[in-house]
Amino acid sequence: MHSKDQISHDAYQQTADWLLSQTKLRPQVAIICGSGLGMLADALKCQEVFPYSDIPGFPQSTVHGHAGRLVFGELKGKTCVCMQGRFHMYEGHSLCKTTFPVRVFKLLGVETVIVTNAAGSLADSFHAGDIMIIKDHVNFPGLSGLSPLSGANDDKFGPRFPPMSSVYDRELRRLVLDIAKQMGVAHFLHEGVYAMVGGPNFETVAEARLLHRLGVDAVGMSTAPEVLVASHCGLRVFGLSLITNKVVKSYDDSQSVKHDSVLEVAALRSHTLLQLISELVSRMDENNNTHT
């Protein structure tokens, strides 16, 4: 990373202070809405909405299906902040920019981050419309040296060499599995490994086969950088992938994935996803201090 891309602690603080001066709401939970999943923010009650273009220091979202608003409000009696529209590496943002909101959330007092994304499946048993609880990730940009944590470490946020072996909170994963069983949707819920690729292109057949052999269950173009930064600064993390398509793994398969069909599947499952996340938010503090 170029040092000119690095963001000073003051810059995060200034954005957080501005938001704190604009709203009395003090969120405990942040929800990052993936492609086509912006309706999660629409479910918040007593909303206070800030278009990204109005927030000092905030990056701007450029993707169709991503609204570009920060929505504060109540979900099941808990104060939340939702990113309706996230930032991707393929938009040309530096990784510091794509993860900028996460550190702002930390400074707002958020304790838990829920990330959602649209993803293609490699696992043979997954189908379009299934939901995957993210158990772990493979961060391909990170493995090749592209990390939002590159450059001088900001010790006020976290350590130079953060561990990543238990990032996705075990208790929250268990809780969502329980909730899914109670809701009768466990038959299309899985746990699995998410891989982030840079995009914006979808995968070649050879890449899909490689990911499959590596044990990746679902692939997408986001999430890992935000999770990395959230975990670095001590936030509790939970992640869901909505499987919008099966990744083509055969040269004989004439299907190809399109962004519009990703949005269509997202719309189809939006209600279930919202119910799962609402219940999670409602019950996440049942057994307090379950950080693992």
Instruction: Tell me whether residue 16 or residue 122 sits nearer to ligand HPA (CB atom).
Output: 122
CB atoms within 10 A of CB 50: 17
Q: Which residues does 136 contact at the CB level (< 8 Å), separation at least 6? A: 167, 168, 193, 194
Binding-site member from 119, 211, 235, 280 for ligand HPA (CB under 6 A): 119
CB of 65 to ligand HPA, least distance (A): 11
Active site residues: 35, 66, 88, 90-91, 118, 221-222, 245, 259
Q: Which residues does 94 contact at the CB level (< 8 Å), separation at least 6? A: 1, 2, 5
Instruction: Looking at residues 184 to 223 of the shown chain, list those that interact with ligand HPA (rule: CB under 6 A).
Output: 202-203, 219-221
93 and 87 in contact (C-beta within 8 Å)?
Answer: yes
- Rg (alpha carbons) of the chain, rounded to whole number: 18
CB of 262 to ligand HPA, least distance (A): 5
**Strand 189-196 versus strand 29-33 pairing type:** unpaired
CB of 95 to ligand HPA, least distance (A): 17
Please tell me whether residue 128 binds ligand HPA under the rule CB under 6 A: no
Cis geometry, peptide bond prior to residue 200 (ω within 30 degrees of 0)? yes
What gap in Å lies between CA 198 and CA 132, rounded to an integer?
A: 20
CB of 35 to ligand HPA, least distance (A): 7
Please tell me whether residue 244 binds ligand HPA under the rule CB under 6 A: yes
DSSP bridge partners of 80: 29, 73
Please tell me whether residue 247 binds ligand HPA under the rule CB under 6 A: yes
Q: How many residues of this chain interact with ligand HPA, rule: CB under 6 A?
A: 13
What gap in Å lies between CA 116 and CA 114, rounded to an integer?
A: 7
Please tell me whether residue 270 binds ligand HPA under the rule CB under 6 A: no
Instruction: Tell me whether residue 154 or residue 207 sits nearer to ligand HPA (CB atom).
Output: 207
Binding-site member from 82, 245, 273, 280 for ligand HPA (CB under 6 A): 245
Please tell me whether residue 134 binds ligand HPA under the rule CB under 6 A: no
Binding-site member from 19, 108, 113, 118 for ligand HPA (CB under 6 A): 118
**Closest to 133 measured CA to CA, from 53, 242, 39:** 242
Give the binding site for ligand HPA (CB under 6 A): 118-120, 202-203, 219-221, 244-245, 247, 257, 262
